[in-house]
Chain A
Amino acid sequence: MPKKKNLNKILVIGSGPIVIGQAAEFDYAGSQACRSLKEEGLQVVLVNSNPATIMTDANIADRVYIEPLTVEFLTAIIEKERPDGLLATLGGQAGLNLAVQLAESGALEKYNVELLGTSLNAIKKAEDRELFKETMERIGEPIPESTIVEDIHGAIDFANQIGYPLIVRPAYTLGGTGGGIANNEEELIEITLRGLKYSMIGQVLIERSIAGWKEIEFEVMRDGNDNCITICSMENFDPVGVHTGDSIVVAPTQTLTDHEYQLLRSASLKMIRALEIEGGCNVQFALDPKSQDYYVIEVNPRVSRSSALASKATGYPIAKVSVKIAIGYTLDEIVNAVTKKTKACFEPSVDYIVVKFPRWPFDKFVYADTTLGTQMKATGEVMSLDRTFEGAILKAVRSLEIGVNRLHMDKMDSWDNEKVRSRLNKVNDERLFLIAEALRRNIATVEEIADITKIDRWFIDKIKNITDMEVRLKKDTLNAKNLREAKLIGLSDKSIAELTGTNVNEVRDMRNQFRIVPIYKMVDTCAGEFEAATPYYYSTFRGEIDEVEVSDRRKIIVLGSGPIRIGQGVEFDYCSVHSVWALREAGIEAIIINNNPETVSTDFDISDKLYFEPLTTEDVLNIIDKEQPEGVIVQFGGQTAINLAASLAAAGVKIFGTSVDNIDRAEDRERFDEMLTELNIPRPRGISVTNLDDAITGAATIGYPVMVRPSYVLGGRAMEIVYNEEELRDYMSRAVKVTPDHPVLVDRYMQGTEVEVDAICDGVDVVIPGIMEHVERAGVHSGDSIAVYPPQTLPSKVIYTITDYTKRMAIALNVRGLLNIQYVVADGKVYVIEVNPRSSRTVPFLSKVTDIKMVNVATRVALGSTLKSMGYYSGLVEPKPYVSVKAPVFSFAKMQDVDISLGPEMKSTGEVMGIDYHYARALYKAITGAGMNIPKHGCILFTVADKDKEEMKQLAKAFYELGFKLVATEGTARALQSIGIDAEVVGKVHQRSSDIIQMIKLGKIHMVVNTQAPGKHIAKDGFRIRRATVELGVPCLTSLDTAWEVMRVLTFMRDRRLVYSLALQDYVGGGDALA
Chain B
Amino acid sequence: MKGKLILQDGTTFRGQLFGGSNATTEGEVVFNTGMTGYQEILTDPSYCRQIVTLTYPLVGNYGTAKQFNQSRKSFVGGLIVGELCEKPSSSSMQRTLPEFLTAEKIPCLYDVDTRALTKKIRSAGTMKGVIVSEYTSQNTIDEMMALPIRKNVVEMVSTPVSYSLDAGKDALNVVAMDFGIKRNIIDALRKLNCRVTVVPAGSPAEAILALNPDGIFLSNGPGDPKDVPNVIREVQKLLDKKPLFGICLGHQILSLAMGADTFKLKFGHRGCNQPVKNLKTGKVAITAQNHGYAVEENSLKGLPVEVTHISLNDGTIEGVRHTSLPVAGVQYHPEAAPGPNDSVRLFDEFIDNMRAAKEG
- Interface set of A (CB-CB < 8 Å, partner B): 225-230, 252-259, 261-262, 265-266, 269, 289-291, 331-332, 342-343, 345-353, 387-389, 456-458, 461, 521, 526-531, 542-545, 547
Contact = CB atoms under 8 A, between A and B. Distances in A.
A375 B35 CA distance: 32
Contact of A269 (B56, B339, B342): B342
Contacts of B219: none
A138 B35 CA distance: 31
Q: Which residue among A230, A458, A521, A527 has the maximum number of chain B CB atoms within 10 Å of its CB?
A: A527
19 contacts: A229-B275, A253-B36, A255-B62, A262-B338, A342-B312, A345-B275, A345-B312, A346-B274, A349-B33, A349-B35, A351-B114, A387-B83, A388-B83, A456-B89, A458-B89, A527-B271, A528-B118, A543-B116, A545-B115
B57 A461 contact: no
Contacts of A351: 33, 55-57, 114-115, 118
Given A258-B36, A353-B58, A530-B313, A226 B283 contact: yes
Contacts, number: 156
Interface in B87-118: 87-92, 111, 113-116, 118
A256 B122 CA distance: 28
Given A226-B283, A255-B90, A530-B313, A332 B36 contact: no
A411 to B, nearest CB: 30
B82 A542 contact: yes
Interface size class of B (residues with CB under 8 A): 35 or more
9 nearest interchain CB pairs? A258-B37, A543-B113, A545-B116, A347-B273, A527-B55, A458-B89, A528-B118, A258-B36, A258-B338
Contacts of A542: 57, 82-83, 111, 113
B40 to A, nearest CB: 6
A428 to B, nearest CB: 24
B284 interface: yes
B33 A526 contact: yes
A343 B312 contact: yes
B13 interface: yes
A145 B40 CA distance: 35
B182 interface: no
Nearest to B83: A388
Given A257-B36, A346-B273, A266 B56 contact: no
B87 A461 contact: yes
Contact of A388 (B34, B58, B282): B58
Given A389-B58, A526-B33, A527-B56, A545 B113 contact: yes
B62 A262 contact: no
A872 to B, nearest CB: 49
A612 to B, nearest CB: 16
A291 B92 CA distance: 8
Contacts of B272: 347, 349
A945 to B, nearest CB: 57
Nearest to B314: A342
Contacts of B37: 258
A543 B34 contact: no
B100 to A, nearest CB: 13
A258 B271 contact: no
B115 A528 contact: yes
A258 B336 CA distance: 10
Q: Which of A291, A346, A352, A529 has the most CB of B within 10 A?
A: A529
B337 interface: yes
B55 A346 contact: no
B83 to A, nearest CB: 6
Interface in B252-297: 271-275, 277, 282-284, 286
Contact of B340 (A257, A265, A352, A456): A265
Contacts of B119: 528, 545, 547
Contacts of B34: 258, 349
A349 B271 contact: yes
Contact of B55 (A226, A342, A349): A349
Given A529-B118, A542-B113, A346 B313 contact: yes
Given A262-B336, A347-B286, A349-B33, A458 B341 contact: no
B236 interface: no
Contacts of A345: 275, 284, 312
Contacts of A347: 272-273, 286, 340
B61 interface: yes
A259 B342 CA distance: 14
A346 B62 contact: no
A529 B122 contact: yes
Among A259, A269, A542, residue most surrounded by chain B Cβ atoms (within 10 Å): A259
Contacts of A346: 273-275, 286, 312-313
A527 B118 contact: yes
Contacts of A521: 115
Given A350-B35, A527-B118, 15 more contacts: A225-B282, A228-B342, A254-B58, A255-B61, A256-B36, A258-B339, A347-B272, A351-B118, A458-B61, A458-B88, A461-B87, A526-B273, A528-B31, A528-B122, A547-B115
Nearest to B118: A528
Nearest to A450: B89
Contact of A349 (B68, B92, B273): B273
B116 A266 contact: no
A257 B88 CA distance: 11
Contacts of B274: 346
Nearest to B271: A349
Contact of B284 (A227, A230, A269, A457): A227
B57 A387 contact: yes
Given A227-B283, A351-B114, A543-B116, A289 B91 contact: yes
B340 A266 contact: yes
Contacts of A543: 113, 115-116
A458 B62 CA distance: 9
A457 B88 CA distance: 8
Contacts of A349: 33-35, 55-56, 271-273
B339 A262 contact: yes
Nearest to A353: B58
Contacts of A289: 91
Contacts of A456: 89
Contacts of B337: 258-259
A219 to B, nearest CB: 14
Contact of A254 (B61, B68, B92, B282): B61
Given A345-B275, A456-B89, A526-B33, A262 B340 contact: yes
Contacts of B283: 225-227
A353 B85 CA distance: 14
A214 to B, nearest CB: 10
B273 A348 contact: yes
B14 interface: yes
A939 B13 CA distance: 77
A225 B277 CA distance: 12
A286 to B, nearest CB: 15
A342 B277 CA distance: 13
A528 B83 CA distance: 17
Given A225-B283, A388-B83, A352 B61 contact: no
A543 B120 CA distance: 14
Contact of A290 (B91, B118, B271, B340): B91
A457 B86 CA distance: 12
